[in-house]
Amino acid sequence: MLYDNLKSVADKFDLFLFDAYGVFWEGNGFYKGSREVMAELVAAGKTIVVISNTTMIGPDIRANYAKRGLFEHKEYSYMFTSGDLLRQNLINGNLAFKKCPNPQKYYVIGLPHKKAFADTEYQQVEKIEDADFVYCGVPFMFAEDVAKYPQYADQYWPVRLDAEGQVEIWDTLTEKPFEEIVQKAVDLGLPALNANPDFTAREGHPLVPNSDAVFVVRNGTIAEMFRERGAEVIEYGKPHANIYEYVFERLAQEGIAVDKARTCMIGDTVRTDVKGALVAGVTPVLCVETGVVAEDIHNGKTLESLCKAEKIDIQQIIQIKGVGEI
């Protein structure tokens, strides 16, 4: 059965775990009615927890959403990120790879993440040959990358300008420019660390006039390239149990007891949100007309095939069109 919106099934749950992109955030703005539904749930005494696969840490992402018009204690109760979990593990020095139990030096693919590594024992190096592991940063393109791979120029989207008004970083719709550096890392025997398992994200790009939001490559794609080549990957975030364990622990510290039978995870992907919910032992609620699944279906895939690929019984999923009115 397909429900019109989240309110149609809200009475079944007390704790609502929300994904962000593709659920209430579209890339250029909020889905119609999504914030209103979230606010109604909070006002009704429900606990709304946003769990985002992003390398940003909690205070930064909460401030980011507040600028957009989503507020703590109004539309949601708590917001946690895979970046928070990464930061905790780095501070505690918990990172250990099978062939490198005490890694110290890391090389970054994509955008460096200074806040995550600040005041920890780990040091970034400029040469990959000097590294103990690779950190999968946000896979933005820089000027030297764009110059090196001009054959993909029509798949680069400008993100940020420098002080002179020139494009400083680009998003990319293809992972091809990263294949060379990933292969080099694998040849050197380096493992990888990733704190955003999402393959793609739907982003709006204000530097591209009159553009719609598009699906661009994200950290999970780079991590998957390492896995496909046989490298070890340590990953934080959905669908892994670690992010749910972290969130439930944080909620317990706030005095909130988690009844998994009365908890749901609202998402837009089978691979991360639905699978993660089942790993955590909570009910998956899938938005089928927004986000990644909607794009997959638009491109000819079926929900049945997506579930089969992840070995998931489709009957375990509550399907809604979207959080608000679609």
Give the percent of the chain with pLDDT over 90. 92
Domain boundary pick from 193, 220, 235: 235
Q: Across residues 304-309, what is the average pLDDT? A: 97
Q: Across residues 4-18, what is the average pLDDT? A: 97
Domain boundary pick from 235, 254, 276: 235
**Mean predicted lDDT score pLDDT of the chain:** 96
The 10 Å CB-count burial string (b at 16+, else e) for 20-59 is bbbbbbbbeebbebbbebbbebbeeebbbbbbbbbbbbbe
Helices (H), the chain: 34-43, 58-68, 82-91, 114-117, 143-148, 179-187, 219-228, 241-253, 275-280, 291-298, 303-309
**Edge-to-edge strand list for the sheet holding 192-194:** 123-124, 105-109, 133-136, 192-194, 233-235
Q: Is 325 a member of any domain?
A: no
**Could you give phi then psi for residue 227, rounded to 5 degrees?**
-60, -45
**In 149-232, which ranges are E strands?**
156-161, 167-172, 192-194, 200-203, 214-217
Tell me, yes or no, whether 112 and 226 share the same domain. Answer: yes
Task: Look up the domain containing 75 and give its range.
Answer: 2-85+239-320
Tell me, yes or no, whether 49 and 165 share the same domain. Answer: no
Q: Is 206 a member of any domain?
A: yes
State how many domains the chain has.
2
pLDDT tens per residue, range 95-153: 999 999 999 999 999 998 889 999 999 999 999 999 999 999 999 999 999 999 999 99
- Structure confidence at residue 205 as a pLDDT band (50, 70, 90): confident
Question: pTM, whole model, 2 decimals?
Answer: 0.94
Q: Are 39 and 70 in contact (CB under 8 A)?
A: no
